[in-house]
Amino acid sequence: MDALQSHRVEMLSIAVALVAIGAGTAYYFYVTRTKKPKGCLDPENFKEFKLVKRIQLSHNVAKFTFALPTPASVLGLPIGQHMSCRGKDSLGEEVIKAYTPTTLDSDLGHFELVIKMYPQGRMSHHFREMREGDYLAVKGPKGRFKYQPGQVRAFGMLAGGTGITPMFQVARAILENPIDTTNIRLIYANVTFEDILLKEELDNLAASFPDRISVYYVLNKPPEEWNGGVGFVSKEIIQSNCPAPASDIQILRCGPPPMNKAMAAHLNDLGYAPKMQFQF
């Protein structure tokens, strides 16, 4: 009987050991496979990335796709932050300007910039002259905004012109995260219909997540048949299209300086406390 009992104890010990080894192996593969890869950006030094595709979206807007070192590489840019891009203006002088990619770290192996090139813009000249095969010097990440899923119940977003890019990045991150329930109310202002950047992408998000995001376009010079807002973004437009002031909401804004100034005044008048506002 003692021999039989000893045998059972020995077999039980072996079984426990095998389970422990199996669990340890499973944990190892889980950690190694789910460990977030290191980003390619350097906050202190510029690094160069090759332009692999350029698509002209309009007469002065283009989408630039840059390759990362490997197909599995990630840029390493936290949601809502930006990076500095370095180039040369028409006089050959160095110029540095901040941009926010429209891609996320879930877009492996590359990042994209949607750039509006202004006639007198110094960095616009650099992008206007860029061709596939050229390299762009980039440094980052930079910025005070660090998004965490579920940090607010809802975002109101006030964007103007190229100020849509950080909003689009945040919106994509929220809507593509199955455990993030944050709602988004976006107001996007431009001069003409042709000036609207990422319209197809924004409309697709609104169609795919109708209960999570709404997009209200405002044009200063709208076409004849237009169902959106007309003129400038007013207090009434904000009241109708943004979440009301509350401790669990935040209003993000990004646009030309005059618009940012006007929006700050409107938000203050409507009762949005400073902690409820953030300007990119």
Q: Which two tokens stand for residue 140?
A: 């980052």
Which one is catalytic: 99, 188, 217, 272?
99
Is 30 known to be catalytic? no
Kindly name the residue from 100, 102, 162, 165 that is annotated as catalytic: 100
Q: Please confirm, yes or no, whether 82 is among the known catalytic residues.
A: yes
CB of 16 within 8 A of CB of 23?
Answer: no
Q: Choose the catalytic residue: 40, 65, 82, 216.
A: 82
What are the angstrom distances between the C-alpha of 123 and each of 97, 128, 153, 166, 263? Answer: 7, 9, 37, 18, 26
Long-range contacts of 232-237 (CB under 8 A, 24+ apart): 232/189, 232/259, 232/262, 233/158, 233/160, 233/187, 233/189, 233/259, 233/262, 233/263, 233/266, 234/266, 235/266, 235/269, 235/270, 237/187
Q: Which of 40, 85, 242, 254 is catalytic?
A: 254
Task: Copy the structure tokens of residue 106.
Answer: 């879930």
- 254 has catalytic annotation: yes
Active site residue 125: no
Residues annotated catalytic, as ranges: 82, 99-100, 254
